[in-house]
Amino acid sequence: MGKPAKSPWLAPHITVKDIRESMAFYENAFKFTTGIMMDDDDGRLCHVEMSYQGQPVIMMGREGADMMASACPASMNVESPFNIYVYCEDLDNSLMIALNSGAKLLREPEETIWGDRAALVKCINGYIFVLASNMLDDIFDEPLF
């Protein structure tokens, strides 16, 4: 078997301060869709899986929940050690929605050497999201994925 049939082989599993607040934020700011939700033995929501553009993209658990030994970057007052890269149809509109939802702008949109136009924002949990739109679909000879 290896994995559940509809799950990707690799998915980030992030720790969040408040799981319901985080679900609402990611739904509003990045247009993620909530999928699987699980409660712990005390009946408290402890795990959520979210999708983007019909693809599973991220799992999250609340601080202190089962298997969540750490806290999110915002709670630890540290910078996120990684970025979450999100392709958008319309970068400017997606950035405006994210900022209006409470994300903090870290870097204005700019063109990258790999053909994307990208901006960096920080979410309510301190994770860095790169919002990007591809400008040069054929920059690489071989597909990346």
Average pLDDT over residues 1-12: 80
What is the chain's length?
145
Asked whether residue 1 is domain-assigned, the answer is no
Residue 141 lies in a domain: no
Q: pLDDT tens digits for 18-72?
A: 999 999 999 999 999 999 999 988 898 989 999 999 998 899 998 887 666 689 9
In a domain, 142, yes or no: no
- Torsion sign (Cα): 91, 104, 125, 113: positive
The answer to whether position 8 is within a domain reads: no
Question: What local confidence, expressed as pLDDT, does residue 73 receive?
Answer: 94
d(CA 105, CA 119): 8
Is residue 115 domain-resident? yes
Q: How far apart are CA 89 and CA 133, in angstroms?
A: 6
Asked whether residue 100 is assigned to any structural domain, the reply reads: yes
User: Position 47: which residue type?
Assistant: H
In this structure, what CATH number is given to the domain that contains residue 87? 3.10.180.10
Token reading at 137:
């679909």
> The whole model's pTM is what?
0.88
Is 66 part of a structural domain of the chain? yes
Residue 97, H or E segment: helix 91-100
62 beta partners = 16
- Our count of domains for the chain comes to 1
Summarised one tens digit per residue, pLDDT across range 61-81 is 988 876 666 899 999 999 999
Which residues neighbour 100 within 8 Å (Cβ) at sequence distance 6 or greater? none
Range of the domain at 95: 13-134
Query: Is residue 77 in some structural domain?
Result: yes
